[in-house]
Amino acid sequence: MTHVFHRHLRRTPPRAVSANGVYIEDADGRRYLDASGGAAVSSLGHGHPDVLAAMQAQMGQLAYAHTSFFTTDVAERLADELIRTAPQGMSHAYLVSGGSEAIEAALKMARQYFVELGQPERTHFIARRQSYHGNTLGALAVGGNAWRREPFAPLLMPATHVAPCYPYREQRPDESPEQYGQRLASELEAAIVAQGPGRVIAFIAETVGGATAGVLTPVPGYFKAVRSVCDRHGVLLILDEVMCGMGRTGSLYACEQEGISPDLVTVAKGLGGGYQPVGAVLAGKHIVEAMSRGSGFFQHGHTYLGHPVACAAALAVQRVIHRDGLLGKVRDDGHRFGEWLREALGEHPHVGDIRGRGFFWGIELVADRASKRPFDPALAVNARLKGDAMQRGLLCYPFGGTVDGLHGDHVLLAPPFVATQDELREAVRLLAASVDAVTRAAAR
Summarize as ranges the residues that interact with ligand PMP (CB under 6 A): 39, 98-100, 103, 132-134, 206, 210-211, 240, 242-243, 268
Distance CA 107, CA 88 (A): 20
Q: Which CB, 37 or 99, lies closer to ligand PMP? A: 99
CB of 127 to ligand PMP, least distance (A): 11
CB of 103 to ligand PMP, least distance (A): 6
Q: Which CB, 279 or 308, lies closer to ligand PMP? A: 279
Strand partners, 398: 411
SS3 431: helix
SS3 294: coil
Q: Which CB, 278 or 345, lies closer to ligand PMP? A: 278
Q: Which CB, 132 or 298, lies closer to ligand PMP? A: 132
Q: Which CB, 106 or 418, lies closer to ligand PMP? A: 106
* Reduced DSSP (H G I as helix, E B as strand, rest coil) percent helix, strand, coil of the chain, to 5: 40, 20, 40
Residues near 119 by beta carbon (within 8 Å), at least 6 away in sequence: 198
Q: Which CB, 242 or 438, lies closer to ligand PMP? A: 242
Distance CA 173, CA 58 (A): 56
Q: Which CB, 38 or 301, lies closer to ligand PMP? A: 38
Q: Which CB, 204 or 430, lies closer to ligand PMP? A: 204
- Number of residue whose CB is nearest ligand PMP: 99
CB of 241 to ligand PMP, least distance (A): 7
3-state SS of the chain?
CCCCCCCCCCCCCCCEEEEEECEEEECCCCEEEECCHHHHCCCCCECCHHHHHHHHHHHHHCCCCCCCCCCCHHHHHHHHHHHHCCCCCEEEEEEECCHHHHHHHHHHHHHHHHHHCCCCCCCEEEEECCCCCCCCHHHHHHCCCHHHHHHHHHHCCCEEEECCCCHHHHCCCCCCHHHHHHHHHHHHHHHHHHHCCCCEEEEEEECCECCCCCCECCCCCHHHHHHHHHHHCCCEEEEECCCCCCCCCCCCCHHHHHCCCCCEEEECHHHCCCCCCCEEEEEEHHHHHHHHHCCCCCCCCCCCCCCHHHHHHHHHHHHHHHHCCHHHHHHHHHHHHHHHHHHHHCCCCCEEEEEEECCEEEEEECCECCCCECCCHHHCHHHHHHHHHHHCCEECEEEEEEECCEEEEEEEECCCCCCCHHHHHHHHHHHHHHHHHHHHHHHC
Q: Which CB, 86 or 103, lies closer to ligand PMP? A: 103
Q: Which CB, 21 or 272, lies closer to ligand PMP? A: 272
CB of 39 to ligand PMP, least distance (A): 5
Helix (H) or strand (E) holding 20: strand 16-20
CB of 144 to ligand PMP, least distance (A): 11
Q: Which CB, 242 or 442, lies closer to ligand PMP? A: 242
